[in-house]
Amino acid sequence: MRLNHRITSNMDKPRENCAVFGVTCDDIGFSVAKYLYKGLISLQHRGQESTGISVLKTGGKIYTYKQKGLVSKVLNNKRLSQYWGNVGIGHNRYATTGSEDYNSQDYIQPYHFKNNEIEFSFAFNGTIPNYEEIKDKMEDMGRVFVTNTDTEVIAQLIASISLGTENWPEILKLTSRFLDGSYSLVLLTSNGDIYGIRDPLGFKPLCIGEKKTETRNLYFVASESCAIDSVGATFLRDVEPGEIVHLSHQKDIHSELVLKSDKTAVCQFEFVYFARPDSIIDGVSVAEARLRMGQKLAQRDSLLDNPHFRENAIVVPVPDSGRSAAVGYAKEASLPYVEGLMKNRYVWRTFIMPGQQKRKAAVKEKLNPIKSVVDGKHVILIDDSIVRGTTTKQIISLIKNAGAISVNVRISCPPVISACYMGIDFPTREELIAGSCFKEYGEEDYVEKIRQIIEADTLAYQTVEDLKDAIGLKSELCKACLTGKYPLKSVEKISELEQSIKANRC
């Protein structure tokens, strides 16, 4: 992924950039293609623009196929039967429209690298903010690059380091030392081994599973545990931040090395929005974390003390993003949970629609209030986040036009005030409604200003402390988009640089 992709973004929800999946089988007469398909399709929510696989039959060559499109389109039965091997990795990617390289094959993963010395294929979820620095140094040393992506920088770095050693764990350990970024990566070697790596701060999830039958043993590595479930395997555990796991078709899974860090920065948005509710990340059920987020919102809600309000109050989720939190809120508040907004499931690409007018039209096509449900009610509308605010404003207007007495917005994530430089596709700070209002009106008044802009009757966000408690992770979360404090050194520098460029422009 390239860092500046986010600048061209025009969606109203942050977007995860990618998903990775890998599988190895000790039976070389068995094709893992159908498992790659199942794993990737269960991870489709993490990336919908392109998909790809690399497969290998032990003793043979790596073959890679990748195309733009959904998993079901790219990996049809005919294609899967052509890509036959007992070891394979796969990737789903979300690319930002408007970027000049959107159509290029070079940007679709897995990235299959081959020169006279080494061959491997890898796929990753994340971003390497210091990749240009590494690239400059490598160009000075004579390396030639054909793209301007962190993906190629990782590949060239691996290739350079492999000139000194053939020991893969050692190569990957050294590679990781140069990468100051957020990443979960799967790599397939030409020997048929798979390595899974999670960055030392553990921004992105990664987990492993196994499936043992009388005739064969299969091992899996995946961005989320829902993919392990989808192939009928047993979830074993999360890959630890800084851990490199080795999946070999000859041996069991084993951890090769640990790149120690004294802190972690697991992305809080995985729990709020990105991950599938049926996934478990670092021991925490995503669905249960979202329920607790709703409960926390209700516990702090002074509106619920008003008996006149309660008489006609209903809890309505924004589908699908607000559903679990709305269930938690309704349970805690002892109010009815009602599906008051109908979603057209066949209109799902709002976020890639260029232009404000088209996005507006798309929201109307996508969501319709159920008049008989919301008419004459105080609606407590639950969503996970407000990014630009345009979609929330439209939803409120639709519900009011359907006869609601009031629309009271409750958001399970605290205000998003800063951009993400760690691989999540966010608008710039100026385009974030909370970011721009915070800057203009200050900490005391900015939430009230947002309420006025979106035309809600009341508005309340989760607090950072309650979010932390609701997730209940033992290790530290990344909360940089909520606080503006970045956990990576290279990102701190980039953030400061961007702010000073903007200040000078003004």
**Catalytic sites, residue numbers:** 18
**Binding piece for ligand SF4, criterion CB under 6 A, among 62-70, 143-151, 222-230, 479-487:** 479-487
* 471 contacts ligand SF4 (rule: CB under 6 A): no
Question: Judged by CB under 6 A, does residue 478 bind ligand SF4?
Answer: yes
Listing from the earlier edge strand, what are the strands of the sheet with 194-198? 111-114, 119-127, 182-189, 194-198, 243-247, 254-258
In whole angstroms, how close is the CB of 496 to ligand SF4 at the nearest point?
A: 16
Stretch that binds ligand SF4, among 326-334, 355-363, 420-428, 442-450 (CB under 6 A): 420-428
| Interface stretch with ligand SF4, choices 170-178, 210-218, 378-386, 472-480 (CB under 6 A) | 472-480
Minimum distance from residue 416 beta carbon to ligand SF4 (Å): 7
Q: CA–CA separation, 326 vs 294, rounded Å?
A: 6
C-beta separation of 124 from 20 below 8 A: yes
Contact 196, 220 (CB under 8 A): no
Residue 293, classed as helix, strand or coil, is helix
DSSP state of 101: T
Q: Does 402 bind ligand SF4 (CB under 6 A)?
A: no
Closest CB to ligand SF4 among residues 6, 296: 6
Residue 11 binds to ligand SF4 (criterion: CB under 6 A):
no
Q: Closest CB to ligand SF4 among 43 and 481?
A: 481
Shortest Å distance, C-beta 326 to ligand SF4: 22
Q: Segment near ligand SF4 (CB under 6 A), from 194-202, 234-242, 262-270, 391-399? A: 262-270
Nearest alpha carbon to residue 448 among 462, 466, 461? 461
Distance in Å, CB of 151 to ligand SF4, minimum: 18
Question: CB-wise, 162 or 418, nearer to ligand SF4?
Answer: 418
Residue 158, classed as helix, strand or coil, is helix
Does 424 sit near ligand SF4 (CB under 6 A)?
A: yes
Cα torsion angle, 265, 271, 273, 277, sign: positive
Distance between CA atoms of residues 236 and 220, nearest Å: 9
User: Which range in 133-141, 247-255, 429-437, 478-486 contacts ligand SF4 by CB under 6 A?
Assistant: 478-486
Strand, coil or helix: 432: coil
- Strand order of the sheet with strand 313-317? 313-317, 378-383, 406-411, 458-461
Residue 459 found at the interface with ligand SF4 (CB under 6 A) = no
| Residue with Cβ nearer ligand SF4 (118 or 201) | 201
Least Cβ distance, residue 66 to ligand SF4 (angstroms) = 26
Handedness of CA 309, 314, 319, 323 (dihedral sign): positive
Give the one residue of 40, 291, 367, 422 binding ligand SF4; rule: CB under 6 A: 422
Q: Which of 481, 488, 490, 495 binds ligand SF4 (CB under 6 A)?
A: 481
Of the two residues 35 and 203, which places its CB atom closer to ligand SF4 in the complex? 203
| 267 near ligand SF4, judged by CB under 6 A | yes
Write out the two tokens for 86. Answer: 């007992």
User: What 3-state DSSP class applies to 76?
Assistant: coil
Exposure b/e, 482-502, CB count within 10 A at least 16 = b? beeebbbebbeebbeeeeeee
Q: Which stretch binds ligand SF4 (CB under 6 A): 121-129, 154-162, 171-179, 477-485?
A: 477-485
313 belongs to the binding site for ligand SF4 (CB under 6 A): no
- Look up residue 51 and give its two tokens: 């998909």
Q: By CB under 6 A, tell whether 491 contacts ligand SF4.
A: no
Cα–Cα distance between 171 and 173 in angstroms, integer? 6
> Of the candidates 289, 373, 386, 301, which has an alpha carbon nearest to the alpha carbon of residue 337?
373
Judged by CB under 6 A, which of 48, 268, 279, 350 binds ligand SF4? Answer: 268
Report if residue 201 touches ligand SF4, rule: CB under 6 A: no
Kindly state the tokens that stand for 209: 């599973």
Count of positions on this chain that bind ligand SF4 (CB under 6 A) = 11
Determine the interface stretch with ligand SF4 among 128-136, 330-338, 464-472, 473-481 (rule: CB under 6 A).
473-481
* The two three-digit tokens of residue 330, written as one number: 């309704």
**Cis before 241 (ω within 30):** no
Between 155 and 424, name the residue whose CB sits nearer to ligand SF4.
424
44 neighbors 75 (Cβ within 8 angstroms): no
Complex with ligand SF4: residue 230 or 495, whichever CB lies closer: 495
Measured CA to CA, the distance from residue 377 to residue 373 in angstroms comes to 8
Query: Within 127-186, which residues bind ligand SF4 (CB under 6 A)?
Result: none
Structure tokens at 346: 């066949």
Interaction of residue 273 with ligand SF4, rule CB under 6 A: no
Q: What are phi and psi of 180, to 5 degrees?
A: -100, 85
Nearer to ligand SF4, 15 or 249 (CB): 15
Q: How many CB atoms lie within 10 A of CB 283?
A: 11
- 420 sits near ligand SF4 (criterion: CB under 6 A): yes
**Residue 19 binds ligand SF4 (CB under 6 A):** no
In angstroms, rounded to a whole number, what is the distance separating the alpha carbons of residues 156 and 65?
21
Please identify, using beta-carbon distances, which residue of 90 and 126 lies nearer to ligand SF4: 126
Which member of 21, 65, 203, 446 binds ligand SF4 (CB under 6 A)? 203
Terminal C-alpha separation, the chain: 30
Residues forming the site for ligand SF4 (CB under 6 A): 203, 267-269, 420, 422, 424, 478-481
